[in-house]
Amino acid sequence: MGFRFDLFIVLIAVLSVPVLSDLILSKVDRRIDLTSQVVRITSTLKVENSGNDPVSEVLLAFPEHQEKNLAYLTASFREGKGKGKGSTSSLPVEVVHPQGMPPALVFYSVSLPKGLGKGESLTLDVLVVFTHSLKPFPKEITQADFQLVVFQDSGHYLSPYEVKFQSLSVKLPDARIESYTRLENTKTVGSEIKYGPYENHPPFSYSPIVVHFEQNQPFAVAQQLVREIEISHWGNVQVTEHYKLIHAGAQSKGEFSRLDYQARPHVRGASAFRHLVAKLPPRAHSVYFRDEIGNISTSHLWGDLKKTELEIEPRYPMFGGWKTSFFIGYGLPLQDFLFESGGKRFLNITFGCPMNEVVIDNLIVKVVLPEGSRDISVSAPFAVKQWQETKLSHLDVVGRPVVVLEKTNVVPEHDQHFQVYYKFNNISLLREPLMLISGFFFLFVTCIVYMHVDMSISKSSASYVMKLLWEEVQAAIQQVHDIISRCLSIHDKLEASLRDLARTGDVQACKAARKASDGQLKELSKELRPLLAFLQSSPQAAQILPKVEELVAKERELQEKLMLKHTTVADSYEKKSGGKEIENRIASQQQKIVALRQEVDDLLDYIDEI
Amino acid sequence: MAASEDSNQSKIRTAFGGVLAFFILVLIGVLAFSIRLFSVIKYESVIHEFDPYFNYRVTQFLTKNGIYDFWNWFDDRTWYPLGRVIGGTVYPGLTLTAGSIWWILNSLNIPLSVETVCVFTAPIFSANAAWATYLLTKEVKGTGAGLTAAALLAMVPSYISRSVAGSYDNEAVAIFALIFTFYLYIKTLNTGSLFYATLNAIAYFYMVCSWGGYTFIINLIPMHVLLCIVTGRYSSRLYIAYAPLVVLGTLLAALVPVVGFNAVMTSEHFASFLVFIIIHVVALVYYIKGILSPKMFKVAVTLVVSVGLVVCCAVVAVLIALVASSPTKGWSGRSLSLLDPTYASKYIPIIASVSEHQPPTWPSYFMDINVLAFLVPAGIVACFLPLSDASSFVVLYIVTSVYFSGVMVRLMLVLAPAACILSGIALSEAFDVLTRSIKFQLPGLAENSQIDAGDTTSSSVVTQDDAAKTNKNEDTLKERPSRKNRKKEKEHVEKTSIKSQIKKRLLVLPLEASVAAIFLLVLLGAFYVVHCVWAAAEAYSAPSIVLTSHSHDGLHVFDDFREAYAWLRHNTEVDDKVASWWDYGYQTTAMANRTVIVDNNTWNNTHIATVGTAMSSPEKAAWEIFNSLDVKYVLVVFGGLVGYPSDDINKFLWMVRIGGGVFPHIREPDYLRDGQYRVDSQATPTMLNCLMYKLSYFRFVETDGKAFDRVRRTEIGKKHFKLTHFEEVFTTHHWMVRIYKLKPPKNRIRVKTKKSKSKASSTTSSKRSGKRKKNPWQ
């Protein structure tokens, strides 16, 4: 612990600096909470003005090595003399560099609401949170070892003012205390170490104390956390949080035995942590917990009206120095977080990470506003680095404005609400649906146009003319085909009438049918004539023409035969011939008819295929 | 007039049929897509199994670095220290497809992750495959058969097994490419259009890009061409369908780096060239026959035959010389094991060790194509009524694919589309006949048949065909009731009517029989659907990296693989080398992003044998092998605690075999007691001392005190032992993956032990020589 001595020397040099102003700290009460990985120091300062001039600021001093781990500092001012009474209001705090101060110190100035007059006093509550201030010692432990950490601070309150009366208590977790520095008036009560009370210490008095104790709380540190908050005016706020997590405690060395860990997890793996709990806002939905290789199935979710709790368990237990990365995402109802005031909308949502006791080295919060938002401004409760980006997402044209806030060293105390103000026109909401609708509309229109427009390059080219002609021929052939089929159906009707005749013996009906069909057939043959003429004239049809002609000829023949048969049968019925006789008479015709019919059908099929 | 109204109505009906067919096709696409989402719903949207992880990694590289870097990608994270030229050894079709889908979506500002695109590529392409099946079957047997076949293919279990969401493998796009290439071939054959012939060559190129199975196309089409020539069906359409395909297709295929000159140098492609020559000879003969008189032709035939014989002899001689000059006779190992099913198990243990290269069992046919197996023969019969060029192709397709599926389980995938096409034809023909018979015989239908016809036909799957036929049918319908009344003359009438009707209308079955048959067919189809849904939901959806089991207290998830890979990814140095059996190579590189020694590509047998040897050697020797390979971590998969059967101990014999194939001091009998593989107290000392045994069972006895292995169902032989050269650094929650680190060599102790070692070695050498016969390592 060499550096403790260095510090000592520096501070001894510091001690000789003159007093800055006439303030006196009449009573300082400090409580250091070491039960988690973050160090929380709560100090109650009773400030008295012993000088003549009113004082409007109080300086707080921190050694540089401590200050670089300082994550959070708030000072609140308590009105009234009584303890715990009266309203508290936090005061503005800023870094100052007063002249003539010792070099290894950093000063923060707390501005008082009104000047402190002569002889007046007030009480300040100062909460300071440090990260990475518990140093694991030893630095490497095995699976079976407990984790020991070292904490150091000053036994006396380091201040540029004279301190009249002070006391300090250090709260440790309920576990072994390896060692601690003993000053006068030191005693331990349970897991608490009490220093003091000490009286009348000059400015910049410093007496280092070191506490070495067992600390098995999770040392979960997110080296980087990117929170993306995406607002959809369709009713959802989507939050995605990308974690890069490390166990920042003592490095694990040697073997990891799952057997030991499973058999006695609290002994063999005491310093490891298995799960984290994220407190999500109420009515969070669509919660997921994944990493780059897929879903992580070890998570539990439960919720009530006030909160939603998500217990996540990384893929493996986190031992010292082990890293992991994952992301969680959830949707939130828009009306809980988006409000409107004075023509502007604003998002009001928490800044920090929803997990307890996770320290974040570098936190980036991105707020993705809907496309078309204007006049963007941010109000954050503490200083953050801030810039703007654009993000192209679902069907965006110009991109969505993104407000990026960056902050290092974030502790749970930073989990406060911040606001993003912007202007947004509701009509922009309809842009994307309209875009889709018009896109599909034009697609269909193009299809229709394409189907109806003749796309050939030249209307006079030979092949195009050929094609047109060929289409005409095809149409003609199709018509011929139709006519022939209709003829055939008329034939079938005739046949049917013959059968009816055989059943009922009604010769008149049969003859009527005959007459009707005769008329129809005549008409059909009339229709057929121009078509045939066209086919004969067309050179395109040369190939197919013989077949068509053959078809027509055959059909005519068939027609004649059928008529013949029909007449014969009808006549026979008139003459009341017997069934057998009729059958004999038409037998030969019947055969021919069947054969012809067969041929016609074949030809029809053939033409049909063309 | 009535007639024109009729034609108008038929036009409307055709249009209606077209619209209906379109919507049915859309629904089939939706069905094909959604039935494959079970894996996403039941598990999660994640890449499955082994090979898909490699494809996923390649796609990530492609989307990140662009196409040119992809072609030149030398991957130094696998096959350490050899590396692998990815751009030249991978079929790029799948990756390029998914990559371009991702690119298009992202340029439209739809920010899907590469993983999502990869997961859903297979379902999208199975919808495409269903549509391609429709087109192909439509070319063969009409729209009705096409729709039925497409519906069947959309949910055939065999294809589902390779194309569920997340199964991002070559087959997913290749089956679509295969069917589409066949469709374009048939289309060209039917139309004789050069346009389609060119498209066909491009589709073939896509297939070559996608899958090694393209050799099936380039052998099947020549076979069909030869068949057509032999059966006297040569036509100019055939020539147009084939010749451009060979020329353009071969040129395009040679552009794919992984194929390259193989497209003209290996025997798989020779059949196509031979047929290319034959079709030209035949074309010449037909041409000469056309221009010469018969007499002259006879003279010419003798001339050509004699010249042709000489040419053929020369070509055959050249071919034989070429083939004989290469050691494998120009065939790759996988192709050879197709032609000779016993080839792999005899010569290439690495091919034989993959379960999907084994011949299938009968139940797996039923599992994978289900009732289609019974419908296929009917489909073949339907293809012969009448036999056309297209239907003969389908018959040839089914016959060859049945053979190939009998050799390798994996090729069941090629059989599935053929089975679907033929079953579709069979079902559609059957419905056609049966519904027509019913329509003839339903008296009520006769009057309003004109109105109803459209609807009734559409309710059966057959739409357009029937709609066109209804005209013809009506006539027969009208005479039907009258015929029914005349039962006396029924026989006579039947005779005449049969002769007078077109042949197609002959198949009129009794009403009751056809109703019953339709009912049974629907039942059969329903059974098929139920089976397919079951197969999709239960059998084929597991991603295999996440396992689940149902116990009395609910679902239990075993996510050990990813636990181990995530640990490796985050808690080891980025350049550490991880040794494991090759099965886990792709996953380790993709999920853990660490360099591996061997992976599923299995291109270097010696390297795999080295790892196999290390795993089967005792600790010290294994440490030396691994150390020489710069390995820092060794990963083994162990299922003994939870009963996960496909762990490394069960694969261990293959490691011994493959290792022994290259390093003869590893001998399989040393690991077997009386020919039996066991790990209990009867196991051989070689087995009990090998690295795999030790890494798997290290401190296993302390879990339950007895060391009962739940996979082998036995207590292990050697329970208490320590590791001297390895240390356990990570074991997953259910012990399924155990990771060990190689201990660094101890410098100081070595000096000490040098003396004692020489002593020890002298003492042990005597022991050794005694045991030498058993095992050189002990």
How confident is the model over B8-34, as pLDDT tens digits? 777 788 888 889 999 999 999 999 999
Test A316 with B7 for CB contact under 8 angstroms. no
Beta-bridged to residue A209, according to DSSP, are A153
Q: From the candidates B43, B108, B109, B742, which should be mutated to test the interface with A, based on the most A CB atoms within 10 A?
A: B109
A395 Cβ under 8 Å from any chain B Cβ: yes
> Rounded to two decimals, what is the model's pTM?
0.80
Mean pLDDT of chain B: 82
Q: Between B477 and B643, whose confidence is greater?
A: B643
Nearest-CB residue to B475 (from A321, A323, A489): A489
Report strand pairing: A140-141 vs A251-252.
parallel
Residue listed under structure tokens 């037998």: A587
Tell me the pLDDT band of A327, cut-offs 50, 70 and 90: very high
Rg (CA), chain B: 32
- Distance in angstroms (rounded) separating the CA atoms of residues A318 and A328: 18
Nearest by CB to residue B482, choosing from A321, A324, A500, is A500
Task: Enumerate helices (H) and strands (E) in chain B, giving the number of each.
Answer: 37, 13
Q: Estimate to the nearest angstrom the gap between the alpha carbon of B452 and the chain centroid.
A: 44
**Is the minimum CB–CB distance between B44 and chain A shorter than 8 Å?**
yes
What digits encode the pLDDT tens for the residues B356-394? 777 888 888 888 888 888 899 999 999 988 888 889 999
Whether A324 contacts chain B with CB within 8 A: yes
Using a CB–CB cutoff of 8 Å, tell me whether A258 touches chain B. Answer: yes
What residues pair up with B673 in beta bridges, in sequence order?
B676
- Which chain A residue's Cα is nearest to B486? A503
Nearest CA in chain A to B703: A259
Tell which residue, B419, B427, B453, has the closest CA to residue B517.
Answer: B427
Q: What is the pLDDT of residue B25?
A: 94
Dist CA B588 CA B569 (whole Å)? 9
To the nearest whole angstrom, how far is the Cα of A213 from the nearest Cα of chain B?
Answer: 28
Is residue A281 over pLDDT 60? yes
Q: Does the predicted interface ipTM exceed a cut of 0.85?
A: no
Q: With an 8 Å Cβ cutoff, are A316 and B703 in contact?
A: no
Residue A291 has pLDDT above 80, yes or no: yes
In degrees and rounded to multiples of 5, residue A479 shows phi and psi of: -65, -45
CA dist A387 → A350, A382, A401 (Å): 18, 15, 11
DSSP reduced 3-state for A249: coil
pLDDT at residue A85, rounded to an integer: 46
Contact A393 B111 (CB under 8 A): yes
Q: Is A381 helix (H, G, I), strand (E, B) or coil?
A: coil
* pLDDT above 70 coverage of chain B, percent: 83
Residues of B in contact with A272 (CB under 8 A): none
User: φ and ψ at B369, to 5 degrees?
Assistant: -120, -5
Averaged pLDDT, B322-339: 65
* In contact, B46 and B168? CB cutoff 8 Å: no
Residue B104 to chain A, least CA–CA distance (Å)? 12
Q: Does B487 touch chain A (CB under 8 A)?
A: no
> In chain A, whose CA is at the least distance from the CA of B562?
A293
Which of B483, B565, B735 shows the shortest C-beta gap to A258? B735
What is the amino acid identity at position A606?
A: Y
Could you report the per-residue pLDDT of B443-499, keeping only the tens digit for each?
654 444 443 433 333 334 333 444 334 343 443 333 343 433 444 344 443 444 444
Average pLDDT over residues A351-358: 85
Taking the C-alpha atoms of B115, B119, B121 and B126 in order, what is their torsion angle to the nearest 10 degrees? 180
Q: Write down the pLDDT at residue B473.
A: 41
Over the Cα atoms of chain A, what is R_g? 49
On whether any CB of chain A is under 8 Å from the CB of B703, the answer is yes
State which amino acid sits at residue A269: G
**B306 token code pair:** 């004699």
Taking a contact as any Cβ pair under 8 Å apart, which residues of chain B between 208 and 237 contact chain A?
none
Nearest residue of chain B to residue A245 (CA atoms): B570
* Mean pLDDT within B343-358: 70
At A336-346, the pLDDT tens digits run: 899 988 888 89
- Per-residue confidence band for B205, with pLDDT thresholds at 50, 70 and 90: very high
Write out chain A residues lying below 8 Å of B702, CB-based.
Answer: 259, 263
B263, exposed or middle or buried, with CB in 10 Å at 0-12, 13-18, 19+?
buried
pLDDT at residue B124, rounded to an integer: 94
A238 contacts chain B (CB < 8 A) = no
Which residues are within 8 A (CB) of A104 and not within 5 positions of it... i.e. 6 or more apart?
A10, A11, A14, A63, A64
Where is average pLDDT lowest: A82-96, A237-251, B80-94, B125-139?
A: A82-96
Only one residue has tokens 């407990």, namely A146
Residue B523 pLDDT > 90, yes or no? yes
A525 at B interface, C-beta within 8 A: no
Out of A322, A324, A492, whose CB is closest to B475? Answer: A492
Candidates A291, A296, A594; nearest CB to B500: A594
Residue A579 pLDDT greater than 80, yes or no: no
